[in-house]
């Protein structure tokens, strides 16, 4: 979201005027409260979409013979979201976004430049990823807590997040569709022989590597990425495919609120110049509720959602109970034992059960006629 750190005097006055609007939005975010920097327990709010609810309510659907054929026709076109075949011809990359970041490719490692807020964001997102991953392992090596883990950093840019994860001992693959970004990242890691061995960079999109990396990674990181893709559903499905069972997906992004438009677009891009104009499109922003809905319907269980706030005056980020601007989310891929049967077999089983039930009921009716 953020791409710089300097504010004009007029920008400061505008920000102060918008502060009241931000305070009013806190009441709307009360359901995502947390007593710590980021919550250890699961969310207190209940996921609203569960694809397997269809099987739970099947009896209600087929009480009436008149509904049977209509429901069977509907079931033919229904497929569980995470069993949909992916296609490398279906891209999530927005060509206009590629042009925007291509122009900034040489500025990734300027800590005082347009990417200064992303450098500062590492103070939150690196511990957020590290601590949640360590909850999934029994022990770890001091100094290299993520040793033995394979992480995919999607939309890695110049490697601002990839390198800290590599320093924690993880084996990291960073991918980005902008070739100049990858060249910048490769050049920077070459100065550290340790990182040179632990980190691999590739110029590609996520969907291009799905086929060769199914269930490969312990974690997938998409930090400040989902607000730039053109097909969020496909993007999440690809994340699910490359994750190992019970693997972690980490996302940081921007909420879709009036405040995020006022601060993220109008103030940051058009008034204060914190972010280059055209960096973000408000229509691509996604609310925590919608993101969770997509994650849950694609086999990923949301564990944590917590707000993030950036202070453009100090240049630092801090955690917040308010998710009306930026927020971070952590989700786990369902284990193999929890997966429902593939859609084709599930539908076949449903059809066979219905046919058997219809035959039984026909026999009962004939007996009653006698």
Within 10 A of 84 (CB to CB), how many other CB atoms are there?
13
How many H-runs (helices) and E-runs (strands) does the chain carry? 14, 8
Closest residue by Cα to residue 158 from 123, 197, 190, 126: 190
In 3D space, the residue among 137, 136, 191, 183 whose CA is nearest the CA of residue 166 turns out to be 191
Angle between helix axes 288-296 and 232-242 (nearest 10 degrees) is: 50
Residue 174 annotated in ligand binding: no
The CB density around residue 27, as the number of other CB atoms within 10 Å, is 8
Task: Say whether 338 sits in a helix, a strand or coil.
Answer: helix
Q: Is 155 annotated as a binding residue?
A: yes
Q: What's the number of CA atoms in the CB half-sphere (13 Å) around residue 16?
A: 7
Q: Cα separation of 328 and 223, whole Å? A: 9
Q: Is 135 annotated as a binding residue?
A: no
Q: Is 174 helix (H, G, I), strand (E, B) or coil?
A: strand
289 is in an annotated binding site: no
Is residue 176 marked as binding?
Answer: yes
Measure the CA–CA gap between 179 and 361, rounded to whole angstroms: 64
For residue 366, count other CB atoms closer than 10 A to its CB: 9
300: burial class by Cβ within 10 Å (0-12, 13-18, 19+)?
buried
Question: Would the annotation count 56 as a binding residue?
Answer: no
Structure tokens at 211: 């086929």
- Annotated binding residue at 227? yes
Residues 6+ apart with CB under 8 A from 332: 246, 247, 248, 249, 300, 301, 303
Binding site feature residues: 125, 155, 176, 223-224, 227-228
Binding site feature residues for S-adenosyl-L-methionine: 125, 155, 176, 223
Binding site feature residues for Mg(2+): 224, 227-228
């Amino acid at each position: 979201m953020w791409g710089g750190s300097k504010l004009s005097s007029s920008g400061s006055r505008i920000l102060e005027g918008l502060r009241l609007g931000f305070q009013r939005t806190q009441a709307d975010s009360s359901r995502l409260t947390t007593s710590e920097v980021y919550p250890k327990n699961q969310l207190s709010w209940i996921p609203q979409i569960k694809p397997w609810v269809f099987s739970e309510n099947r009896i209600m659907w087929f009480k009436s013979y008149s509904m049977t054929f209509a429901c069977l026709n509907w079931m033919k076109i229904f497929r569980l979201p995470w069993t949909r075949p992916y296609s490398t011809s279906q891209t999530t990359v927005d060509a206009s976004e590629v042009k925007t970041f291509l122009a900034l490719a040489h500025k990734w490692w300027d800590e005082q430049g347009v990417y200064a807020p992303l450098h500062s964001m590492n103070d939150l997102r690196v511990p957020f990823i590290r601590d949640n991953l360590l909850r999934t392992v029994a022990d770890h090596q001091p100094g290299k807590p993520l040793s033995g883990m394979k992480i995919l950093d999607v939309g890695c840019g110049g490697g601002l997040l990839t390198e800290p994860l590599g320093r924690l001992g993880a084996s990291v693959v960073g991918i980005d569709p902008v070739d100049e970004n990858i060249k910048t990242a490769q050049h920077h890691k070459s100065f550290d022989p340790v990182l040179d061995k632990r980190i691999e960079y590739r110029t590609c999109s996520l969907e291009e590597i799905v086929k060769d990396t199914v269930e490969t990674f312990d974690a997938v990181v998409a930090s400040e990425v989902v607000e730039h893709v053109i097909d969020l559903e496909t993007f999440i499905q690809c994340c699910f495919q490359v994750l190992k069972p019970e693997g972690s997906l980490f996302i940081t992004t921007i909420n879709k609120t009036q405040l995020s438009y006022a601060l993220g677009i109008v103030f940051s891009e058009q008034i204060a110049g914190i972010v280059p104009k055209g960096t973000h499109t408000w229509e691509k922003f996604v609310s925590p509720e919608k993101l969770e809905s997509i994650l849950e319907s694609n086999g990923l269980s949301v564990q944590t959602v917590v707000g993030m706030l950036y202070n453009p005056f100090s240049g630092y980020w801090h955690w917040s109970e308010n998710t009306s601007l930026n927020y971070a989310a952590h989700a786990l891929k369902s284990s193999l034992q929890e997966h429902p049967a593939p859609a084709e077999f599930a539908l076949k089983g449903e059809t066979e059960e219905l046919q058997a039930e219809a035959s039984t009921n026909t026999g009962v009716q004939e007996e009653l006629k006698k």
